[in-house]
Each structure stands twice: as structure tokens, then as C-alpha cells.
Structure 1
Amino acid sequence: MRIQFSDLNRPKQAAKYLTRAGAELSLAIVHEALARALGYRDWHELSITARLNNLAATEQPSIEDAVNIILDLADALVLPEADVQHAVSKARLLRATPWTINDHMLMRTSIWRQRVFGTAGRGKSGTVVRDRAYNSNTPAYLRYPGRPTYLLFDTGFGERADFEVVTPRSPLPDFVPSRIWLPYGVWKLSDGSEVPFSRDYLPLWRISNDRAERLAPWLWIKGIMEETHVADLRTTIWASGPPREKAAAYLHRHRISELPRLTDIMPHLFEPQVDSLRDGVARLYAARRNTAAPPPYAELNARVLV
């Protein structure tokens, strides 16, 4: 599939974001990989074709096509798929209007299914099963089968007896657990910025001057002046009903429609000896081999990176 452009503004912007995502990537290498992923022989052909187009193409790529482009770029540039998805989204490379957070979830779960979990099946890690305990019918990811059976629910880890877990004949839809993307509360910092945090008190975003940036979940945030929550701390119902609506409204108010870096821990939550989301963050930190110095308002979280 060839993506048509009326000019090079969006491809150039995407190339800049992708170059920043890889420490050793040159702009020339990114240009060539980007052109091929978009259906062109090289950057030169993309440049010529864009100049010949008077109007942008009215047809926008589907979510499936967008996933394929993201995967092609990730392979060509040896970058994490999540970083490529973020770069493509920030540049609005494939559509003039932003993807919704539901769009981003569809893309991310499709990538997980293709690159992490594979085909669903009975007793197979990463399969979405049904939890029948307590007369419920709750979907959850199977982490480890056995007695007990270990699950990942929308709200976090859990254990069940093996007979309480049912694998449907038809695969259930994948989902991004609220535990790794939905704000549980907000920290207000001494510099005037805000940091929404997860249920595990891990940073999601930093909002300053009405701009939002993704934060690494292994950071310990300093200078917290005030802490508020989207749910009453006396209840555990934080990912549904009014608290969820309040958290979603906060993201919408700050025009956040993408997924935070905390969602990148998802593949690590199915690895051996990962017993908490903080373990998943430590695995992600080790896998990324991040050497960047923490920003002035943060330091490395020693409670996570043990």
C-alpha cells in the first residue's frame, strides 16, 4: 500500500521523532526506511511524488494498515514497536487528525498478539480467558496455567483455581489493562507541572504549559506539593464507573490520546519471576538499557530498580 502526501511536512516530522527514538539512527537512514514503509522505492521518490500531489489523499489507512507500517518501521530501524507507534502518532503521519486512545489500544493489542503472544489457545500464556469465580464472567489474560492459575485482569494480577478459568472456543478481544494506562491520581509539582500516576504510583505523563510528555515508569518524581486521586482511597473500585470517567475526562482535557510508556511493560508481565508491575518495570528498564540522565524533577526509583 502506498500512502499519498500533498507535501513532505508529516513524513519529515515523523523522521525527526523516529531519529530521536534511536540513539544511533541517522536522519538519512530513517528517511529511507520511512519511504519504503510508506510504499516508495526511496526518499527521493517520496519527495517527488509529494511535490506532484496538489491535494492530500482522502482515503486514510486502516488500523490494520497502520499496524503493518509500524511493524515495518520497527523492524527496519530496530526500534521498539511502542516507540514507533508514538512517533508515527505524534507526527500525524497516517492521518491529519489524532487517533483516539481506543485506536491506540487496538494497534497496541494487535502488535502484542502478533509479536508477543501469538495465536490464542487453551493453556497458552497470553490467551484471553474467562474468570468464572464468584459467579463472574470476567475476561483476563492467562499468565501461567496450573494450580493455582495466574491471571492478569484489567485491574492487575490475580490467582484462581484451574477449574474457575475457562478458555472460550472463539478468541476473546485483547485489551490494554487499565492498571498500566489509566490515571489513578495526579501529583502537582513545585514547578507548576502535573504528573498523573498509575494505581501503582508510577508516573504516566508530565503536563506543563498544556503540553504532555510521556514519562519513564522507573522515575521517582521529586517536588510533589499536592496529591489528589480520581477515586476514594477507601474503595478499590477505581477503574470503572465515575472514577474511570473522571480519569478519562482528565486525559481528554489535556488532549492525551496516546498510551504512556508504562504500557510497554506488558510483554514482561508474562515472564518468569515477575510477581508485580514493579517487577515488569525493572525488566523493561533492563531491556531498554536506558542511559539518559533523569530530568531535573525526577531521579531513578530505587524501589523499582532493585
Structure 2
Amino acid sequence: MSNLHSGLQPGRLVHLRTPRLKARFGSTAVLLRSNGETATLFTDAGKADVRRQDFSIPSKPVADCLPMRLRLPFGDWEDDDGSRVLFSRDFCPLWRIGPSDTITPDMPWRPISRHRENRYWDFRTAPWCDRTTEMRMETLLQKIGITSDPILGDALFMMIRNSDLSIREAVMEMGRKVTEPM
């Protein structure tokens, strides 16, 4: 393998260098697959197939970051017990806020009884396109007291191992692994 492609291993953090994606120019993305000429990245907005010139390998180490699509809420549901469940853009549970305001990470594969749904933003104001929405969602998480990443973030590791998986497929695989007998 040539030196040009030696840093292009799955899981590598890269910087976006194209304005044609939904995610911001210069933002960090995770490399899922590369064949030298093209690559599949996981950006703040989700999976994207790009040309090699659409991203760069940072010259200095980049702090780990979980893409917005896997950590920022798209809205909330009310569950059977009155809990409020924050969910992702892919409609996966992120956090459960119990009736007594206890906050717990939620299992993204868990079915939710959706008595009510409230959405925080739409496609035009997605946090990866609109800094105001991004800051509003970050502030919401801080006010609630959420300071760690949700379990949904583990779906990214599944997609690094198998770049053909969608977020929902990775979540279902995670759920199967948890429920399989040892």
C-alpha cells in the first residue's frame, strides 16, 4: 500500500473539504471505507459517499468526537410510564428522563410507546447546517444534565467494522448482541 493511502484505515478521523455535503466544510468525519479514489464517511449529517479530494487527513491528532446525528436530539416522546425519551434523527432512543427527573442512557433498539411526539428542528434547521440549532441542542443537553455520549454512539463502531450497515441496521445488531444468550 502506498504512503498516500496508508492513513486511510476505517475509523480514521478526517476533515471535510467540500461544500457539497450536508455537513459543514472543515468539520470532522469518521472514515468508514476507502478504496483510494472514493470513500464512505460518517459525517455529522450521516453517511456520505465522497471523492478522495473531498476530505483531508489532519496533520495533528484530532480530539475524538461523536457525530451530531448520533448524539443530538431530534425530539422527544412520552412513554407509557410518563418518561420523556429524547430520540435521534433516526428515531432511536438516546436518553430517558423519568417521572422523577432521573436521567439514564436509553437502549437505542428498545421499542417506545409514543403517546406524544415533539420535534425540535426540521431538515432546513438541522444542527449540522444551522449553528443556532446546534447550540440550542447542546444547551438543552447541558440544562438537563447530560454530559456523556448516548449508547447510540456505539452504532458507529458497528459501521466502522461493516460500512454497509445503516444506523438502524447497526442498532438492531447491537440489540441482538445484548439479547443473545452467552
The TM tier, using the shorter chain, reads 0.7 to 0.9
Which residue of structure 2 aligns with residue 220 of structure 1? 111
TM-score (norm 1): 0.50
Matched, 1:133 2:31: no
| Cα distance in 2 between the residues matched to 1:288 and 1:236 | 35
Measure how far apart 1:131 and its partner are. Answer: 2.2
SS in 2 for 1:158: strand
Aligned length: 169
Q: In 2, are the aligned partners of 1:195 and 1:206 still within 8 Å (CA)?
A: yes
| 261-270 or 162-171, which deviates more | 162-171
Quick one: structure 1 residues 133 and 241, their matched pair in 2 at CA, closer, same or farther if it must change by over 3 Å? Answer: closer
Which residue of structure 2 aligns with residue 144 of structure 1? 33
Q: In 1, are the aligned partners of 2:125 and 2:133 still within 8 Å (CA)?
A: no
Identity, in percent, stands at 26
Q: Decide which structure has greater strand share.
A: 2
SS in 1 for 2:7: coil
The CA deviation string for residues 1-24 of structure 1, in whole angstroms up to 9 with x for no partner, is xxxxxxxxxxxxxxxxxxxxxxxx
Unmatched segments (≥5 aa) in structure 1: 1-120, 292-306
Match for 2:102: what amino acid? R
Unmatched segments (≥5 aa) in structure 2: 1-5
SS in 2 for 1:221: coil
Q: Decide which structure has greater helix share.
A: 1
Measure how far apart 1:290 and its partner are. Answer: 5.3
Measure how far apart 1:278 and its partner are. Answer: 1.0
| Cα distance in 2 between the residues matched to 1:245 and 1:273 | 30
Measure how far apart 1:268 and its partner are. Answer: 0.7
Q: In 1, are the aligned partners of 2:17 and 2:54 still within 8 Å (CA)?
A: yes
SS in 2 for 1:219: coil
Q: Which runs of 4+ in 1 moved over 6 A?
A: none
The CA deviation string for residues 192-250 of structure 1, in whole angstroms up to 9 with x for no partner, is 2211001101011211211112211111201x22211221x241523452222332233
TM-score (norm 2): 0.80
Q: CA RMSD in A?
A: 2.2
| 208-217 or 251-260, which deviates more | 251-260
Match for 1:167: what amino acid? I
| Cα distance in 2 between the residues matched to 1:279 and 1:218 | 10
Q: In 2, are the aligned partners of 1:230 and 1:238 still within 8 Å (CA)?
A: no
